[in-house]
Structure formats: C-alpha cells, structure tokens
Amino acid sequence: MQSEPDRRSHARECLLAGIDAANPRAVLEEQLQLDRSVLSVGGSEVDLSTVSDVFLVGGGNAAGTAASALESILGDRLMGGAVVTDDPRETSRVTTFDGTHPLPSEANVTGTRKVLEIAEGAGPDDLVLTIIAGGGSSLLCAPSADVSLDALRSVTDSLLASGADIDEINAVRKHCSAIKGGQLARAAAPARVVGLVFSDVVGNKLDVIASGPTAPDPTTYADALGVLDRYGISAEPAVRDHLLRGDRGELQETPKPGDPAFDAVENHVVADTDTALDAAADAVASLGYDPLVLTSRIRGEAREAAKTHVALGEEVLATGRPIDPPAALLTGGETTVTVRGDGSGGPNLEFALGAALELDDDGIAVGCVDTDGYDGGTDVAGAVVDAATVDRGTSAQAQAMLADNDAFGFFDGRDELVVTGATGTNVNDLRVVLVGSPSDATD
C-alpha cells in the first residue's frame, strides 16, 4: 500500500501542475498569433496595419504577467497602456500599478483612473487590448463620484464575509463603480476593444469576471439593493443613498445588452478553470491514477462541499463507482465562506479542514488551492490533507477552529499547507481527491 505522504505529494504535484498551466505568459503565447501584421485570437483577426495605435489596459491578478507577455509579443506595435495588479512584473511600455486584493486601496483607484484615461483617449481607428482577470473586481476600482473609497471598502468587506455568491457581490460593486459593468467599454468607444479574459468565475460569465468592465451588465441598481437587503448588510449611508438614487433613475445605469458601447467589442476567454483541470488531470495520469474531471462549477459553502468530495472518494474506494481506483477526482469552481468567527483562512483552507474532519480512511487524500496563491487574505494557496491530519487527539480542536473560521490557525506551521506565493494567474479554485494507490508509484 502506498504511504500517505506519497499520496499527499502526488496531490500537491497535481495542484501545482494546474496552476502552472494557467500562467498568463504560457497561455498568451499559445492563444495569440502574430503573423506579420495580423494578430489572431480565438478565431478573430485584427490587421494591425489598419490600426492607428494599440493600447493595453486592464487589471487582475494575472494582469502584470499578461502585460509583460504582450509587450514581448507585440513589441513596438504597442503604443502604451496601464494595468492594475497585485503581482506586478517588469514592463517598459505599459505602466503597472501595484494594487491590493481583495480590498481596494488608493493605489487601485489611481491605477484605474489611468486605465480609464487611456481608454477615453482612444480614437475610432485605435485598438484597445484589455486584460480582464480574476481579482479585477477589487483591483480595477474607481468608485462612483459620490461613494468614497472607505465606504466602498467597508461594503466590500461585508459582502465578502456574508456568504453571498460572486454574482451578487459584483452586482453591488458594478453599481458603485465608474469602470465595472461595461463602463470600460463605454469609455473606449468607438475604438475597437479586444478583451483577453482569464476567468475565475463558474461558467465563465463575462459580466461577472472582474465585474465585467467590457461586457453588458444585466443587473440593475435594484438588484444591488436587493443583495444588501437579502444578506442584512448595513452599508454606509453614501453607498445606500447612491444605489437608491440610481434605482430612482437619477443616475445613469450600466450599459445593457444591445448598447452601442459594445458595437466594436469582442471578448475571448483565453484561460479558465478547465485550463487548470486539464493539466492537473494529465499530471495525475502520469503518476498512475485514472483521472476523472467531475465539474468546473463547484459552489456553495466550502465546508459542506468538502463533505461531498470526501463522500465521493469513499464511494470510489468502496465500490469503484463512478471509477475504479487508483483514481483522481478533480473539480474546479469557487466555494464561499460565511464568516461567523474571528479566525483567518479562506474557502480552500476551510474546505481542507472540513475534509480532514470527515476523512477516516487511509486510502484517500484531498487537496485544494486558490490558483492565485492566496486563499482568503492569507499568504498560502491551500492545503493537502488525509486521514492523519486530524486524529482523536486533535478532533475537538479542529472542530472548534473550523467553527471560528480559523482554518489557517489550525494548519499554520504544519506540512499540509500549499505555499506558492503569487502565481501570476487566477482561474478559480482547484481540488483533487486521490483514491487508492497506483501500481507504478515510486517513492
């Protein structure tokens, strides 16, 4: 029988392979082709010889690495630009603003104002390449004129702790912003806009990824107010007053489907959860496991999703359904955490601790990471656990720490943690359940 540390190391190897595959430089070098003057992406072509100037704008965890890669691909065809990221890379033509995530800061606002300035200055014969990436909802932050940064930070913090899903959170953020919800496209019109999208959203919803700065927004001010009421969020008066004014028709709505702002806009998803899942599946197959990708759309409370994943692993081990061991069950998506305690740790650490509390069979290991390298404001990506992670002596402590939302406190200093640092990407969360032992496993 394979030892548990080997199974844990295989799970870790699988997760890291998934992260590496979504690296923006590798993705863009594969997805974009420049043949003489013709730039191709996603079946669409732009003849750069017919374009006056090419600008690059955008934001998100992947924006720094993507900007550096695009400078290499486009060379002197790129006039300039600006991106906002929490993982800046060296660039020469594009100004990179070092922002904060998950809560916005003055640096985010300054960088976002520059992004809008460049977009607004683009003419009808210009091309605006736009990096839309996970984390962009925080990093591309330009509060509406009557909403202060402090008020926006406060409501964002409350939303992130409420258990609301990302669609709901972003409905509020779009309606307190000058760039989200298609407003970047509105600023750039009538220039041609090509969005290069790194998706961290279940189902690749363009209006939700980074709060959809170049996508039509189906939500309204009334929807945003509904989210605050549904989750009992007492936003600062400036935020609620702003949303109420919008609901009364006193403020311009975000551009909707069919708006002329999108006449010259096209968005291409160049990387998403499937990018990571496919690479992770290849990695575990090379280790001797039979991989099965179950879904890229996991959502809901993290600790509850953990129970389901463990149950699936137990079923495989006991019955061979839906696949015979040795097997690797893979999922992507984004779970949430409803914060009721005072601890630290995001959905991946809560998922890992929840799984560890369920595991009692030594034939299963479970691993999970946030592909950007930072889970819930901690400096770790996630964790890999097995039946030995929580034993009789630590079970009560683990349960109490999970109840206090302190999964990081439980794992801190233990070798189950997965620490990557900033990965330069974000394509949502990645999970693996390894079951059984491959016959060709080596120590």
Nearest alpha-carbon partner for 306 in 350, 361, 370: 350
CA dihedral 405→431→88→216, nearest 10 degrees, is: -90
CA dihedral (198, 199, 204, 209) positive or negative: negative
What is the C-alpha to C-alpha distance for residues 162 and 340, in angstroms, rounded to an integer?
9
> What is the dihedral sign for C-alpha 379, 286, 204, 126?
positive
CA distance 432 to 326: 13
pLDDT confidence of 439, banded at 50, 70, 90?
low
Q: What pTM did the predictor assign? A: 0.89
DSSP string, 343-354: ----HHHHHHHH
| Digit-coded pLDDT (tens) for 161-217 | 898 999 999 999 999 999 999 999 999 999 999 999 999 998 999 999 999 999 999
pLDDT tens digit sequence for 257-295: 999 999 999 999 999 999 999 999 999 999 999 999 999
All structural domains of the chain: 18-271 (3.40.50.10180), 274-435 (3.40.1480.10)
Separation between Cα atoms, residue 234 and residue 206, nearest integer Å: 28
DSSP for 143-189?
Answer: B-TTS-HHHHHHHHHHHHHHT--HHHHHHHHHTTBSSTTTHHHHHHT
Q: Is 229 exposed, middle or buried (0-12, 13-18, 19+ CB in 10 A)?
A: exposed
